[in-house]
């Protein structure tokens, strides 16, 4: 991939460094070296490393939110929307591993910009889980059910990127959907609501 604008190259290299080295551990000097410019040149485009962190988070968080939100619009019923969201989530993160690692790091750090955004990927997940609860498919609390869904996808991502899972994307999407559907919906059938 060839990126010509300096500002875009700074963001691209910062994303790679943040996702592999960590945000706190990456310095402006590291970013400048990766781009092939001076530290001063970075400051002509961004006020600080925090601005780079915020710009990347805003862009990629909204991008993933739009992918997940779009998946929710496509299903004919709850099961279809559930399957679409799981599949779209996995496809996006497996095709954009640096982005997902970065978003995961920001999430773990509890950055303030997460509180200020209306387009967080988790909001799309919550929307799906809340629908499942309203329609009687899911009986777990929104936060617990979302943790199961996102935690499973996170671990599948980790296993795939580490080479532990060697299956093709379509099989990974199908098996992950089956596991999550079984865990959050099928295993709860026949139980009285608590």
Output the pLDDT for position 192: 46
Average pLDDT over residues 61-75: 93
Alpha helices in 75-168 (DSSP H): 78-95, 97-109, 121-134, 142-162
| pLDDT (tens digit per residue) in 125-150 | 999 999 999 999 999 899 999 999 99
31: Cβ contacts below 8 Å, ≥ 6 apart: 10, 13, 14, 17, 42, 49, 52
| pLDDT (tens digit per residue) in 147-165 | 999 999 999 999 999 999 9
Residue 194 inside a domain? The answer is: no
CA atoms within 13 A on the CB side of 174: 5
Q: Are residues 101 and 128 in the same domain?
A: yes
* Confidence check: pLDDT of 4 > 90: no
Q: Are residues 76 and 139 in the same domain?
A: yes
Domain encompassing residue 116 = 49-188
Instruction: Tell me what percent of the residues of the chain surpass a pLDDT of 70.
Output: 90
What domain count does the chain have?
Answer: 2
pTM over 0.85? The answer is: yes
The DSSP call for residue 188 is: G
Q: Are residues 41 and 67 in the same domain?
A: no
Q: Are residues 41 and 80 in the same domain?
A: no
* Confidence check: pLDDT of 193 > 70: no
Residue 176 inside a domain? The answer is: yes
| pLDDT (tens digit per residue) in 70-122 | 999 988 899 999 999 999 999 999 999 999 999 888 876 665 555 667 788 99
């Amino acid at each position: 991939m060839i990126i010509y604008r300096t500002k875009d190259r700074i963001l691209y290299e910062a994303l790679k460094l943040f996702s592999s080295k960590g945000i706190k551990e990456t310095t402006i000097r590291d970013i400048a070296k990766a781009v092939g410019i001076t530290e001063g040149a970075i400051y002509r485009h961004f006020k600080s490393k925090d601005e780079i962190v915020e710009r990347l988070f805003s862009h990629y968080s909204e991008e993933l939110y739009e992918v997940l939100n779009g998946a929710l619009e496509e299903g004919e019923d709850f099961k279809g929307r559930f399957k679409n969201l799981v599949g779209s989530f996995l496809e996006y993160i497996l095709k954009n591993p640096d982005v997902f690692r970065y978003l995961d790091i920001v999430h773990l750090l509890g950055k303030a910009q997460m509180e200020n955004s209306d387009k967080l990927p988790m909001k799309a997940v919550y929307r799906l889980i809340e629908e499942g609860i309203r329609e009687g498919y899911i009986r777990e609390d929104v936060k617990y059910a979302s943790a199961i869904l996102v935690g499973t996808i996170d671990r599948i991502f980790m296993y795939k990127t580490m080479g532990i899972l060697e299956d093709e994307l379509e099989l990974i999407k199908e098996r992950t959907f089956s596991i999550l559907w079984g865990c959050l919906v099928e295993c709860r059938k026949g139980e009285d609501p608590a």
